[in-house]
Amino acid sequence: MRRTRFDRWPCPIARATDLLGDGWTPIVMREAFGGCHRFEQFQQRLGVSRATLVQRLRKLVAAGMLEKIAYQEGPRRYEYRLTDKGRAFFDILAAMWRFGEDWLFRRGHAPVVLIDRDSQAEIRPVVVDEATGRRIDVRRLGVSLRSPAST
C-alpha cells in the first residue's frame, strides 16, 4: 500500500508529517539526542529489527537530520550525528514530551523527566512565540496566507 505524500503540500504541519512518516522516526531522533551515535547502540536501546533501523537511519540521513560519518575502516563502520536541522527537531520532541507527560500519565507519574544538566532542576517544555516570549494559546491563533512578495 502506498502512503500519501505531504512533502509538497503548502502547510508546515503536512510537510513535517511527511518527514516524520512513522512512529520510529521521533524515537530514533530521541536516542540521537540522548547520545546514541552507532547502529548497534540504536538497535540495542530500541530493540528494533536491523531492516527497520537501516530504513529509518537512511531516511533521516537523506532528509538532512543526521549525518553519516565513518569512524572505522575494514570493516567500514559509521556513526550518525545530528545536523543543525536535526538539532532543530528537538523543539518537536519537547512539545511531544510535554503533551505525553501532561496527558498520557497521571500527573507527576511519568517515569522519566527532563532535567537541566547544570542545576538538575526539572524542565517542563512549553511552546512560546519567538517574538514575544509568551506561551502560545491556541484560542488566540489564526492562520493566514503569506503575501506573495514575502515568499
Note the pLDDT of residue 151. Answer: 57
Q: Which of 64, 85, 106 is the last residue of a domain?
A: 85
**Nearest of 65, 70, 68 to residue 80 by alpha carbon:** 68
10 in a structural domain:
yes
Q: What is the domain range of residue 121?
A: 89-139
Do 3 and 64 sit in the same domain of this protein? yes
Q: Which three cell numbers stand for residue 130?
A: 519567538
52 in a structural domain:
yes
71 in a structural domain:
yes
Note the pLDDT of residue 22. Answer: 75
Q: If DSSP codes are grouped into helix, strand and coil, which group holds residue 72?
A: strand
pLDDT in tens, the chain (151 residues): 666 777 777 777 777 777 777 788 899 999 999 999 999 999 999 999 999 999 999 999 999 999 999 999 889 999 999 999 999 999 999 998 898 899 988 888 888 889 999 999 999 999 999 999 999 999 999 988 888 776 5
CATH number at residue 24: 1.10.10.10
**pLDDT tens column, 72-97:** 988 999 999 999 999 999 999 999 88
Rg (CA), the chain: 18
Q: What's the number of domains the chain is made of?
A: 2
51 in a structural domain:
yes
Cα 46–76–25 angle (5° rounding)?
30
Note the pLDDT of residue 8. Answer: 75
Give the Å distances, CA to CA, from 72 to 54, 58, 69, 76. 18, 19, 9, 5
Note the pLDDT of residue 60. Answer: 95
Do 23 and 42 sit in the same domain of this protein? yes
pTM of the model: 0.82
Q: What are the DSSP E strand ranges found in the chain?
A: 66-72, 77-82, 114-115, 122-123
